[in-house]
Structure 1
Amino acid sequence: MLFKQYRWPVLAAAFGIFIHHSVQAQAEEQNELPAIEVRSEVHALIGVADSASDGKVTAKQIEHRPFLRPSEVMETVPGLIVTQHSGDGKANQYFLRGFNLDHGSDFATYVNGMPINMVSHAHGQGYMDLNFLIPELIGGLRYQKGTYAAEDGDFSTTGSAHIDYKRSISAPFVDVSVGEYQFKRALVAGSEEWNGLQWLGALELAGYDGPWDQPENLNKINGLVNVSSGTPSNGFSISAMAYRSRWVASEHVPERAIDEGEIGRYGTLLPNDGGETHRVSLSGEWTQTDDLSAWRANAWVIDYGLNLFSSPSGFINGAEGDQHEQADHRTTLGGQLEKRWFLGENWLNSEISLGTQLRHDRISTLGLYDTVDRDRTNTVRQDHVDQTASALYTEVKTPWLPWLRSTIGLRYDYMDVDVNAEKGVFNQNNGGKTSAQQLSPKLGLAIAPWKSLEFYANWGRGFHSNDSRGAVISQNVVDGSPADRVPLIAKSTGSELGLRAAPLTGWHTSVALWKVESSSELVFVGDEGVTEPRGSSQRYGIEWTNHLTVSDWVFLDADIALSKARFDKTENGGKRVPNAVPLTASLAANYDDGNQWSGGVRVRYIGSYALEETGQEKSSSFTTANAKVEYKINPQWQASLSVLNLFNRKANDIEYYGGACTKLDGPGCGGGEGIDGRLIHPLEPRSLRVGLRYTFK
């Protein structure tokens, strides 16, 4: 029993000792040379980027930034906001360019070449769970906003991010952190060269209760093994990842339940929401580059599962509560093959790329069940889904003159689905097959009148897919009434004007004026805990992004983003798109003197947004700050202190507007529709976390 209770810390320590002795033995067999660090200014993208809103994030920017959650790495993408309205094992809520991305419906993310967004997901289309990320292992993040990149397809209406892990680290280490609300985390990682191959391994264990009256009891285990050879432009890399998380969630609740004293600020209506999820993957990447061409290929297979228990509407349906389970178990596999040709001076030094992509999701269980305390009482629907997506794309980049470049792209997507209805009283007639296709042209122009200034114009078509069940549905699964089908593909068109400049040494700034037109909108429905398609919409806005290197030890990131989102036609009495954040701003500062002291601080602002279509109900704006300071005691030992929600801001991480019933309201309140009001999930209060790292030298 004693070993069972402490087995993961014991295994983590053993793993670290193994890495240490392996590296130490290798060092004794060969003469070691001092490491030479070569730095390139990755933010100097004039003459390189295809648009004003393309960018890169370095490992250095991530290394010293304080994070409450792993997926807050995504907030290094300017203008992107990450929140949470449930437990920390569930995918986060994302906002960008006036879109409530829900859990990822209009922003595509890839890790080591693997797509993270899930099609036809049990909880929400495009579900993007990044809780398996290990920030210390991220080597870089490349992002591009808008619909202008031919490589990006489904879910990339607002853009995409490509995250790559490091293939090696300078020295093995063991990092242990503890904090308030029973936070605990251990990370062991190391790499070594063996038989001409570079090996990297990491094991992460974490637990957290949070400030909630109902302890979250988060239990997380996460591992990675990578083997590689060569470089990212000439070589290969194979990664095996495994992640599992279990947790108890405190869902968003009616604000009136807190104001009237029915529950505390960190209370919950029903016990034992939460869930369990896992993700196991095997992926490989191969590249080959010479003076005339470049090949790039990847392949991956993912085993994924989620059982999610939620009670977003309280007691509308009865005294036992409205808890339901959403189950998703699938195998996803696919890959990409791309070749680029460098045509040389006779062809104006043009670069042509041609690529193909394939993805297949075999969803063995896609279910929705009524539950009481996680026990199933009724099957609303259960389906088996096979969904395949394939694409061809090409792109031609031509530098016509030293100051004039163009990018022309074309992408063709084809998608087909086969939905087999297995269970559910009103679900038996909802199966079927359907398919959809889209041709997406892309255009870009860059004009650089001076070396320190470049202007951009971009236009492109994109899309997000809709849930396959909605594309073949014929009757409502709750009451059997007729149901309208939605198109499998929801089209979008984006355009952008912008500039990029380097007005001073070390200062890189960009401005982008953008517009997006969407043929269909996904809107959160609070009393059902799902999203549903609405009418077409338009969005436009402006972004200002800055990176400033003050010295070799200090650099700053600052950005501000404004947007406006409206339906083309009146929806529910208004044209405002709910939960479309109109204003965000952030300022991050990192410090590293290269000797003893390092750290970072980040301040972010989220403006007030409409909670429903008329705009009469709005959220509250708020500003939060996180800070981290690190001190290197000696070459082996380093201590750290993180302060999250530095000023103890009392605000809401997320707000919705919808119907719900509390116990005081009584079951079936509001005539069985619930009482409309604010549904909130409080921001976590100020908390301290201390860490200690030992590096094997």
Structure 2
Amino acid sequence: MKRASLASAGLIGSCLVTPLLHAHPVIEEVNVTGRHQNLIGESVSASEGVVSQDDIDVRALLRVGEVLELVPGMVVTQHSGTGKANQYFLRGFNLDHGTDFSTEYNGMPVNMRSHGHGQGYTDLNFIIPELVKTLHYQKGPYYADVGDFSGAGAASITPMTKRDQGRLKLTVGEYDYQRLLASDSLSNGNSDLLWAIEYTQYQGPWSDIDEDLGKLNVQLNGTHSLDHGTVSWGIMSYDNEWNSADQIPDRAVSSGFIDEYGSIDLSTGGQSHRHSINVAYDSERLHASAYAIDYGMNLWSNFTYRLDNPEHGDQFEQVDDRRIYGGELSVSAHTKFLQRDMENRWGLQIRLDDIGEVGLYNTDNRQRRGVVRSDAIDEFSSALFWENNIAWSDSFSTVLGARYDYYTFDVSDRVGVNSSEVNLSSNSGSASDDIVSLKASAIWRISTQWETYLSAGSGFHSNDARVTTITIDPSDGSAIDSVNPLVRSKGAEFGLRGFLGDKINLSAALWTLELDSELLFVGDAGNTEASAASARSGVELTAYYRIDNVWTLDVEYAYTNARFDDEQPGRYIPGAVEDVVQLGISANLNNGLFGSVRARYFGPRPLTETGDQSSQSTSIVNIRAGYQFSNVTLALDVLNALDSTDHDIDYYYASQLAGEFAPVEDRHFHPLEPRNVRVSLELAF
């Protein structure tokens, strides 16, 4: 990506803003209240919810991916550079970069199948938080229209298509943080057009590298009202490059070799782009959508330093270059069954990942020394789903669902012989698989204020296409078994929801989830790592209290017990978080002052199957305060306000530093970023 300066981005934004200063103001038609929205009579489970732009606005965000922390119980962290997909934790899953949690934006999938770095890779850096209209989350596998990566749940993010005022926002902060956002919308009768440009630069707090982040986002969203429906469309372009401060070994810090913000390999980092176009038609009974995505990534990492190659080091490059095409068609019909109101919805979903290259290379200072594996993949899926909703009485209803998913995988080796003289051509091949998933929920409305839910269902995640045809380990040429392409999950929960007088929104859920297997492709090594079947269970409690017209309080707590079924070598699931607590209080005073304080705690998590190694807990407090006068808003964000030295993430594995003569099993961690102050000036026009 060619670097644009902040001044250049500002000039572009100004050129686009100026002609719109005299445009007629647009009146927002829908006021979504998010946490304050009454979902009684509308949701399938107590683990379903909607958040809005108002809920995002009150939070100080360090990273774009933290938008998903609006999902109760979700923790979003990072073990590498700002431009990389985050690490996600939910319901006893270390979701890595997105496996077992399905995310879509504007009807387009975010999870990347058969990705160069990790299965289900979910990079949200292309999203502009200020343009999010709603985030609809659904935890558990109880929803017929959600397929792949749905074990822990799903989130659907809908962007704005118009706004009541234009926005020009400049943010500056410590560690050379600079961000410019320009956005506005035009209205012409039945049509609306929203545009936005965002540019971000950041050097980061690291002691021996400049993160040198340079991110550019451009978005266009439009809608056009017809007599019987609405056509919407979107065009997005995202480009990013950065240097990474990867996780570091504890012994390097304790010995004084580096400090906690230091790095072992100074040349890791990445670059990525995502360009897309999508279109949809929606009416009362019909939904039709289509999308096309162009995506690419080059990522340089080094987690073991000089374990495998003492001379050149263990740095590697992961490559992903693909096009994604897909769409959905669904129809619904309202009829009667035994004199009861009934709605049926049928749908078809298709997706093709045309992957020109997904590769793994040995590198030194980002220069390739040899190929470990490089493949071209065509991965196609089609799905049929059906959902039936019957209101048996004013207080009792059922939702039944079923879906059928069919996958084909076609893997072609691009290199034949890798740098270790291992012939990988036999890893080429084709595979296919299908799976049926059943869902059911019973909803009993106790009163206008209370509702209970009993839900059960099955979901699945797909495995990397390469492990469905693999026969040879790329590292040493030994024989290796392929794995099942689709892995089933089964879950159930009992839930309760209360909505009391527009003041209090409560929910509670007792849930359980089982996975047949946690077989995953290890992108860092180019082979497979098998694990046993697993079981998880837990409880989640949420409370949102609008104290008055000024003050709002929210409390979220999630407890999870996660274990492998097999006791060898142990039953603990590495990275499974047991306790998550989030607290927040916000105020919006009538005199223009506003502010919020948010605290997040996630407890110790096992780092090995035996449980003999575990991390410490992690706590962080973020503060936002500001003042709005006329059409100008001034805001102050204090991230990690208490300057916590806790860790964002911890791992336990073997590595070898320069000067060491043997591998050392050690804890490796990525620290929370230190206290970071940012100031924003926003002009509405």
TM range (shorter): over 0.9
Distance 1:232 1:431 in 2: 51
After TM superposition, the structure 1 = structure 2 runs for residues 542-691 of structure 1, keeping only pairs within 5 Å, are 542-571=539-568, 573-593=569-589, 595-632=591-628, 634-666=629-661, 669=662, 674-691=663-680
Q: Which residue of 1 aligns with 2:436?
A: 439
Select 1:260's aligned residue among 255, 258, 282.
255
Distance 1:94 1:656, change over 3 A: same
Distance 1:631 1:551, change over 3 A: same
Distance 1:329 1:232 in 2: 41
After TM superposition, the structure 1 = structure 2 runs for residues 65-84 of structure 1, keeping only pairs within 5 Å, are 65-84=59-78
After TM superposition, the structure 1 = structure 2 runs for residues 180-579 of structure 1, keeping only pairs within 5 Å, are 180-194=174-188, 196-213=190-207, 214-230=209-225, 234-289=229-284, 294-317=285-308, 318-343=310-335, 347-423=339-415, 424=418, 425-503=422-500, 505-522=502-519, 528=525, 532-571=529-568, 573-579=569-575
Distance 2:161 2:341 in 1: 32
- The answer (yes or no) to whether the contact 1:426–1:478 under 8 Å persists in 2 is no
Distance 1:297 1:557, change over 3 A: farther
After TM superposition, the structure 1 = structure 2 runs for residues 34-45 of structure 1, keeping only pairs within 5 Å, are 38=31, 43-45=37-39
Q: Which residue of 2 aligns with 1:159?
A: 153
Provide Cα deviations, 1:286-328, integer angstroms capped at 9, x if missing partner: 1011xxxx11111100000000000011110223210000000
Shift of 1:40: 5.7
- The answer (yes or no) to whether the contact 1:527–1:658 under 8 Å persists in 2 is no
Distance 1:577 1:59, change over 3 A: same
Shift of 1:528: 4.5
More divergent stretch after superposition (381-390 vs 206-215): 206-215
TM-score (norm. length: structure 2): 0.95
Shift of 1:503: 4.7
The one-letter code of the counterpart of 1:250 is: A
Distance 1:232 1:278 in 2: 38
Distance 1:565 1:36, change over 3 A: closer
Q: Which residue of 1 aligns with 2:139?
A: 145
More divergent stretch after superposition (507-516 vs 232-241): 232-241
More divergent stretch after superposition (657-666 vs 146-155): 657-666
Shift of 1:680: 0.5
Distance 1:647 1:7, change over 3 A: closer
More divergent stretch after superposition (591-600 vs 4-13): 4-13
Distance 2:84 2:593 in 1: 35
After TM superposition, the structure 1 = structure 2 runs for residues 26-105 of structure 1, keeping only pairs within 5 Å, are 26-27=23-24, 38=31, 43-105=37-99
Percent identical among aligned pairs is 38
Q: CA RMSD in A?
A: 2.1
- The answer (yes or no) to whether the contact 1:526–1:656 under 8 Å persists in 2 is no
Which ranges of structure 2 fall in alignment gaps of 5 or more residues? none
Q: Which residue of 1 aligns with 2:17?
A: 19
Is 1:695 the counterpart of 2:668 in the alignment?
Answer: no
Shift of 1:228: 1.1
- The answer (yes or no) to whether the contact 1:313–1:528 under 8 Å persists in 2 is no
SS at the partner of 1:612? Answer: coil
Which ranges of structure 1 fall in alignment gaps of 5 or more residues? none
Shift of 1:504: 5.5
- The answer (yes or no) to whether the contact 2:633–2:683 under 8 Å persists in 1 is yes
SS at the partner of 1:429? Answer: helix
Select 1:10's aligned residue among 8, 15, 19.
8
Distance 1:179 1:482, change over 3 A: same
The one-letter code of the counterpart of 1:112 is: N
- The answer (yes or no) to whether the contact 2:483–2:519 under 8 Å persists in 1 is no
Shift of 1:378: 0.4
SS at the partner of 2:571? Answer: strand
Distance 1:195 1:15 in 2: 25
- The answer (yes or no) to whether the contact 1:651–1:683 under 8 Å persists in 2 is yes
- The answer (yes or no) to whether the contact 1:416–1:436 under 8 Å persists in 2 is yes
- The answer (yes or no) to whether the contact 2:621–2:640 under 8 Å persists in 1 is yes
More divergent stretch after superposition (479-488 vs 529-538): 529-538
TM-score (norm. length: structure 1): 0.94
SS at the partner of 2:55? Answer: helix
- The answer (yes or no) to whether the contact 2:72–2:542 under 8 Å persists in 1 is yes
- The answer (yes or no) to whether the contact 1:95–1:101 under 8 Å persists in 2 is yes
Distance 1:565 1:5, change over 3 A: closer
Is 1:114 the counterpart of 2:105 in the alignment?
Answer: no
More divergent stretch after superposition (504-513 vs 103-112): 504-513
